[in-house]
Structure 1
């Protein structure tokens, strides 16, 4: 299977996440928090993929209709340098205000609710993050930063931010002096009162030092992560919308679960990796799918993230929904539509096997699960 650049990015990201987890487990003897990792991977990337497209389309629209044609008249090297520095400055203030303004915090809080610091946390985001980020980078389009420059520069910065969530690097030597590093970003996620609302920068340390928000990591301070006073959930629907509903003073829809159902975390981990593989498949094949196939696969993957979240929260409805999706998706695309490309057969086949195993666990709960 030939991967387009977007799908390749997802593959590389997943590979780094899994390699880091293996090192943490087998070298550092650290237990893998599979439920947290899978939530991070499947916190809604299929929906974020759509909203990222909206963000790029909006940037292109501003370039066409509100472009002052300042930056695009400069030498090419100057365009790239300006875009790199200006994007990072825009990110700093976007990030800082997402911690300051209640509505924006209601969106951003999802990222901070993760209680384990590893690479998967770097891709844990709200469904709406691209939408609330856009107003802060729109100025780049107005100033005339070309679209291709914007896309490459933002990708570089996001890659640095992804790296800065890794759990393997302690100190980074001279880089700690002028760049945001894992050490600095651990502080940003820390719950110690000396770390709250510190280190908002994305790539360059300049902005935190310039605007008085820098805090180095302190010796002897135990690092704890998460958000105090919140109820942990692995359901992306609740995570991305619960705080927003509270801010709007609206009542979030709630229903009583008819019992709980526990499965091993490794089962959830395998399901999450397979589902993320389907996201990659969707991103790579989107242009080749007819409209109804795009919609059907999108809906199945999206509802799969909700079902897997329910299963992670030990909800019986999540187990039933997950098994249903695991069985329905391969039947639809393998047998009815006759998807025959190798990776499609692999991903849909693995999903089918995972669903059959889940059905076995549901029908024999005394052996594999526990209901109450």
Structure 2
């Protein structure tokens, strides 16, 4: 059963509830561009996962078949309990190494880039974690955890982590000692020196207490969210490649061949001495910290938000029909989602070429609707063409009302 698919509607209901709580308490934990960027990375991660999850499943299945020391039964309750705890233990070490090694931080940093902290932040996920993340779960296969159990407890672990991304829930007394909570996870998302690289557990905070990586949220040290090398962008594609690009640049500039290779596997933040001297990187002064912001008119915000809803719907469509869609259909669907979210990111950043790119996005819908039935993304139907026409007209009207702002930016 795909727990994540069924949970998606509840995610958005809870985000709406948190927005209401914000209004009721007179606080503002959401910014439109940041929330759209976070959810965009989530949509991109999910749709990318439809194409890449085979990497983890195939390697796990191979290890289970050829390396397993035991054969646990999926019919036993104790197998599920054991697997749930063991998964979180493996997740702890993946998560910890994701903060302590450059190549793994390049993937995981996406989740930490938001300078806000709310339930939309929970949906902010990497699209490249599949490259190496599977390695950390192989012990589960070696110990004989069935594939079905593995996939199920992985989904349960991820679902648990959603609710801890909120500022509305205070410390929870004794619960803080054993489980990950909003309080100790807020500390995890901080860029303050006190909290840096702490609290890695997914469900159980006990691993952090055992292995010396726990840090309690301190009322005297307000959390400043984000990363010390700010993303400074609302684009989900750049969010996924930012740190890879930084590592690549440093590797290319390094004089030593050894440094060109080892930079990828060194502790996070390590740079070759010659590169660091010639291309210094200055960390922001947290005492003067300002969140990344781009002025955006109300009409533009509404336009982007409504267009964003189209890609949330398309991503949900791909998730729902994944098993019945061909690889070509999934690739086409992923491409449409990735390009659309890239364009909306450019609009949120007020790029001078945002209008031209938006017109190209709308024009691309014509070949998309023609090509989609060819690969089985959806059936050929006059209704689809009528829907495209209606969508294009409404989008054109929206662009007309945003025209002055877009025209000024494009000039």
Question: Structures share a fold, TM > 0.5?
Answer: yes
Bigger drift between 265-274 and 89-98 goes to 265-274
Q: 2: distance between equivalents of 1:276 and 1:299?
A: 14
- Residue deviations 1:62-109, cap 9 Å, x none? 2233333x1516971221121111111111111111111111112211
Structure 1 contact 185–199 (Cα < 8 Å) conserved = yes
Q: 1: distance between equivalents of 2:17 and 2:362?
A: 26
Q: CA RMSD in A?
A: 3.3
Structure index of larger Rg: 2
**Runs of 5+ in structure 1 lacking a partner?**
253-259
Q: In the alignment, which residue of structure 2 is the partner of 1:199?
A: 199
Bigger drift between 16-25 and 204-213 goes to 16-25
Q: 2: distance between equivalents of 1:94 and 1:239?
A: 20
Specify whether residues 50 and 292 from structure 1 end up closer, same or farther in structure 2 by C-alpha distance, changes over 3 A only: closer
- Structure 1 residue 67 corresponds to structure 2 residue 64: no
- Structure 1 residue 283 corresponds to structure 2 residue 283: no
Matched residue count: 360
Please show how residues 240-255 of structure 1 align to structure 2 within 5 Å.
240-248=240-248, 249=250
Structure 1 contact 330–351 (Cα < 8 Å) conserved = no
Match of 1:17 among 15, 18, 23: 15
Q: In the alignment, which residue of structure 1 is the partner of 2:56?
A: 55
Specify whether residues 102 and 4 from structure 1 end up closer, same or farther in structure 2 by C-alpha distance, changes over 3 A only: closer
Q: In the alignment, which residue of structure 2 is the partner of 1:256?
A: none
- Residue deviations 1:130-168, cap 9 Å, x none? 333211112111221011111111111111111111232
Q: In the alignment, which residue of structure 1 is the partner of 2:344?
A: 308
Q: 2: distance between equivalents of 1:139 and 1:308?
A: 41
Q: 1: distance between equivalents of 2:200 and 2:387?
A: 38
| TM-score after normalising by structure 2 | 0.77
- Structure 1 residue 102 corresponds to structure 2 residue 138: no
Q: 2: distance between equivalents of 1:83 and 1:346?
A: 49
Match of 1:356 among 396, 400, 406: 396
Q: 1: distance between equivalents of 2:130 and 2:306?
A: 28
Please show how residues 72-151 of structure 1 align to structure 2 within 5 Å.
72=72, 76-151=76-151
Q: 1: distance between equivalents of 2:23 and 2:390?
A: 24
Q: 1: distance between equivalents of 2:239 and 2:398?
A: 25
**Runs of 5+ in structure 2 lacking a partner?**
254-293, 374-378
Structure 1 contact 361–367 (Cα < 8 Å) conserved = no
| TM-score after normalising by structure 1 | 0.84
